Amino acid sequence: MLCSLSSVHAQQIPYYSQYTFSPFILNPAAAGADAFTTFILTNRNQWLGVEGAPTVFAASLQTRIMKKSHIFKNARIRRKNKPLLHSGRVGLGIHAYNYHAGQIDQTWLQFTYAYHIFLNSRSQLSLGLSLGFMKYKIKKDDLKLLDNLDDPAYGSNISLNIPDANFGVYYSDSKSYIGISILQLLQSTVNFGTYKSENFHIYRQFYLIGGYKYNLNTKDVLEPSFYIKSSEQLNFQLDVSVKYVHDKKLWFGLGYRSGMTLIGSFGVNINKLFVGYSFDYSLKALQNYSYGTHEIMLAIRWGDYVRRYRYLDRY
């Protein structure tokens, strides 16, 4: 049985079931693409009831730098020779999360710059780059050694700060979006204690995401979406879902993730506050030992006013 095991794989980036609300968490080029300012808190408990199962707490903020107001254009002192620093094309974002699984803690902090190129009055092509670092930590007190032999990876240096970067390309218009991104671009090496190895990498992850909004009538919308995830080792995962939205106030969703997982979600919008909940149910035997995966999202979205429409005619 031991000889038959050639390799073991584990997730390095947390999953999100409600990624359609903010594709920015999977693609840095989506920062500010919809011209809203959006702040999101997400808590995800995977395989609830299983000891040491992954948990995630994430926070993100993304916005778009608007054009200068007409008030400045009509001022007495005009700097005609000095170009504007921005013209509604720049998006900014920050994304942080803590990922805990067993004795391992990962804390990410990333800053994002995105540039949006208008293709016409109703579509844009966006490029985005995230730079940041990860704090990788092993909880030494929770480890149990089977013998007293010195382990070269079990030393005082069990907390590392690792730089990293993400890059993405993103197309969007009034009804659809599609984007491709590369996460963990630098593919840094992780070394603990006195043991050095080139085999312990934070591997690059590739994402292809897309979605479309189909108007059933003036108030009801269907939003099918997908994302395909793969590592450099070509370990593919597919996530497909469809969401029904009523009057921008209430939504319900159903999805399927490869690996035999069903996803159900619902949410409500109260003014600028959005509350969403999703439940992942595994069709495998693992479900006999857990209470499923639960994800709660709280979001605040603002910026839907005249100045936003000035340069985004498609909205």
> Tell me: the pLDDT tens digits for 246-296?
998 999 999 999 988 999 999 999 988 999 999 999 888 777 778 889 999
Alpha carbon distance 90, 106 (integer Å): 30
Contacts (Cβ under 8 Å, ≥6 apart) of 69:
307
- In one-letter notation, the amino acid at residue 49 is G
Domains of the chain: 26-309 (2.40.160.40)
pTM for the model stands at 0.82
Can you say whether the dihedral through the CA atoms of 277, 10, 104, 162 is positive or negative?
negative
- In one-letter notation, the amino acid at residue 152 is P
196-205, 207-216, 282-291: least confident range: 196-205
75-89, 109-123, 272-286: least confident range: 75-89
Residue 71's H or E segment, with its range, is helix 70-73
- Give yes or no for residue 5 having a pLDDT over 60: no
Tell me the CA distances in angstroms from 190 to 16, 109, 163, 255, 278, one per residue in order: 25, 17, 11, 35, 33
Average pLDDT over residues 14-25: 87
Q: Which of 108, 158, 155, 146 is CA-nearest to residue 130?
A: 108
Alpha carbon distance 124, 27 (integer Å): 15
